[in-house]
Copies of this chain bind each other. A is one copy, B any other.
């Protein structure tokens, strides 16, 4: 055996921003991912598990400083003779690796290629409360399908997925927009300067906060904000601002209304028209399949941040109310989002390959299911066979063997058996439904004590003396009836 080291003891903790998941946390997440995978599979998507490590080159996240990769990823340089090895990094999402895999294997993969992936990703960001540097993503993407039928399919699948994991219809909404419509709106304003276009987009993002009148001021000369500070405007004329305001207020009672309003907002912009027509196609396909406005809607307020989206964008929001940290009611919010990104594979091959896909925020969706009490019931702990007599360990092992053979989770207490109280405390900590006790006296008589810990807890809480006497939580049973009697306790 290695001798204890003389060096100072290491700290028993993970790096900052990392955490561990125990027991039910693991099994609940796994159950949810299994349900999601089943829906994805039903839709014809194939599993892909790419390597967690990629070359920084393939991930494509370099800082301007060419020596040191982006701080947003965990990266290191492979050691070689001259310390000039490749830079490698942990994947920061599942889309960049998909682009690499597709470019690498495109001659062998079906075309289109529908794939799903689930697993941890890593971000080298400042950790915060509830914000970890390793977390799960769960993605589905279709590569090589130019038709927006692929986008419609992902939205339908997302709807089915949310219901499959336990979010009831009415508690979620999938909202669809199209980057091309936004580009059409920009075209309709007549703004061609890149910086001014960016200002317009930033102002659009403030619509939720400042409303129509606020946006009108910000697009024009500017406005006084709540704190009394004056915010400079973008400097558009009223006529230039009009398409933006029309766009922002285009959400109608039905998708048909919304589409008509959008058509008006984009004027005769070619790209805008293409965008509206794509949305029209998506709406028609989804309606034909029965996905009505209670599940999926066209909604111009979806402006997803990522620069690489090139067509439809979509987002799933949970609409039920929760309380924020100050106790105020608010909607749970977004749990999944995605869209069409036609440029990612091109980085590798030079050829544009159409692709669209969605990413589910696994931890947020799981948190939502927990809040709604929709996660699978915590499975009971194991039956604990206590050790009264160390020399008779074989007998105790025999008991758990029988229980397991009957499919009942069971274990022998393997700590130091001297203090019997510790054994019962252990059974409590394990959330055991039943403890089994057999001393040498009981062994001679061919009986065991069966302690119903579920019933015991109930009795301790509320039972009267009479009830306690009528239904004792601990009984003596024949050793031969062990499995049957334990099963009775579990079936209560």
Q: Which residues of A contact B (CB under 8 A)?
A: 1-2, 4-5, 9-15, 18-23, 25-27, 30, 41-44, 46-55, 57-58, 60, 71, 74-76, 78-79, 86, 88, 90, 100-101, 103-105, 110-112, 114, 120, 122, 133-134, 142, 144-147, 149-150, 152-153, 156, 160, 179, 284-285, 288-290, 307-310, 342-343, 346-350, 379, 381-382, 390, 393-395, 397-398, 401, 404, 407, 409-412, 414-416, 426, 429-430
- A243, B352: Cα distance in complex, Å: 72
The residue that A58 contacts in the complex, of B13, B343, B346, B349, with Cβ under 8 A, is B13
Give the chain B neighbours of A30 by CB distance below 8 A. 47
* Max chain B Cβ within 10 angstroms of own Cβ: one of A27, A103, A394: A394
Chain B nearest CB from A412 CB (Å) reads 7
- A150, B156: Cα distance in complex, Å: 50
CB-based nearest B residue for A55: B15
Whether the Cβ atoms of A414 and B53 lie closer than 8 Å is no
CB-based nearest B residue for A3: B343
Whether the Cβ atoms of B308 and A414 lie closer than 8 Å is no
CB-based nearest B residue for A58: B10
Give the chain B neighbours of A390 by CB distance below 8 A. 147
Whether the Cβ atoms of B409 and A122 lie closer than 8 Å is no
- A196, B288: Cα distance in complex, Å: 81
Whether the Cβ atoms of A48 and B20 lie closer than 8 Å is yes
Whether the Cβ atoms of A101 and B27 lie closer than 8 Å is no
14 contacts between A and B (CB under 8 A): A1-B307, A13-B55, A15-B55, A18-B53, A42-B409, A42-B410, A43-B409, A52-B52, A53-B74, A74-B88, A76-B76, A147-B390, A288-B397, A289-B397
Whether the Cβ atoms of B397 and A285 lie closer than 8 Å is yes
CB-based nearest B residue for A345: B12
Whether the Cβ atoms of A122 and B44 lie closer than 8 Å is no
A20 and B101 in contact, given A15-B88, A348-B10 (Cβ under 8 angstroms): yes
The residue that A48 contacts in the complex, of B21, B88, B379, B414, with Cβ under 8 A, is B21
Give the chain B neighbours of A379 by CB distance below 8 A. 41
- A253, B310: Cα distance in complex, Å: 72
A9 and B51 in contact, given A397-B153, A401-B289 (Cβ under 8 angstroms): no
Chain B nearest CB from A356 CB (Å) reads 10
Whether the Cβ atoms of B44 and A22 lie closer than 8 Å is no
Q: Lowest 6 A-B CB distances belong to which pairs?
A: A44-B411, A76-B76, A12-B103, A288-B394, A18-B51, A145-B414
Whether the Cβ atoms of B51 and A10 lie closer than 8 Å is no
- A48, B23: Cα distance in complex, Å: 6
CB-based nearest B residue for A101: B20
Whether the Cβ atoms of A26 and B47 lie closer than 8 Å is yes
Give the chain B neighbours of A47 by CB distance below 8 A. 21-23, 26-27, 30
CB-based nearest B residue for A20: B50
Chain B nearest CB from A75 CB (Å) reads 7
CB-based nearest B residue for A100: B12
Whether the Cβ atoms of B86 and A15 lie closer than 8 Å is yes
The residue that A13 contacts in the complex, of B43, B46, B100, B285, with Cβ under 8 A, is B100
Give the chain B neighbours of A346 by CB distance below 8 A. 4
Chain B nearest CB from A292 CB (Å) reads 14
